[in-house]
Amino acid sequence: MAALILLDLDGFQDINDTLGHEGGDEVLIEIARRLRDLVSDRVIVARLGGDEFLLFLDDRTTKWRSWASRDNPRNRHARAGPIAVRGQQLHLGASLGIALYPRDGSDTSDIVPARGYLL
C-alpha cells in the first residue's frame, strides 16, 4: 500500500495578483521547504506546477496514515504558521486529496500525474 497526497494551495492566484510573481515564488519556496521538513528523506515531494504539490508515501518507508492525519502535531504546526512575504504575514489554506495504491488504481499511471519536479 502506498499513498499519493496532492496538495493544492487555496487562493494562490490572489497572492500572485497582489504580491507579483516574485512574491508568489517566495511562497512556493517556503511551502516546499516546509513540506520537506515534515517528511523523511525517503518520501518523495514534488511540485507539479502552479500551486500543486505531490507527496508519495510508501508504507515500507513511512506510515502514511499517521502522516496524513489531521491530528498529527507536525501537520498542525506546518499549517498553523504564517508565511512572511514582502512585509506581510500570509495565512494559507490548502486542499488535499489522497489516492491509495493499489486501491484507487491498479497501475501507477492511473494515479500518478505525468509531469512534476522533485524537490
Per domain, the residue ranges of the chain are: 2-118
Strands 117-118 vs 44-49: parallel, antiparallel or unpaired: antiparallel
The residues that are catalytic are 51
Predicted confidence at residue 89, as pLDDT, reads 93
pTM, entire model: 0.75
Predicted confidence at residue 24, as pLDDT, reads 95
Q: How many other CB atoms are found less than 10 A from the CB of residue 11?
A: 12
| Cβ–Cβ under 8 Å, residues 78 and 92 | no
Alpha helices (H) along 39-118: 64-68, 73-80, 108-111
Instruction: Summarize pLDDT for 35-93 with one digit per residue, the tens.
Output: 888 887 778 899 988 999 988 887 665 565 665 555 565 555 555 578 999 999 999 88
Residue 20 has pLDDT above 60, yes or no: yes
Report the CATH number of the 2-118 domain: 3.30.70.270
18's enclosing H/E stretch is helix 12-38
Predicted confidence at residue 81, as pLDDT, reads 78
Predicted confidence at residue 37, as pLDDT, reads 85
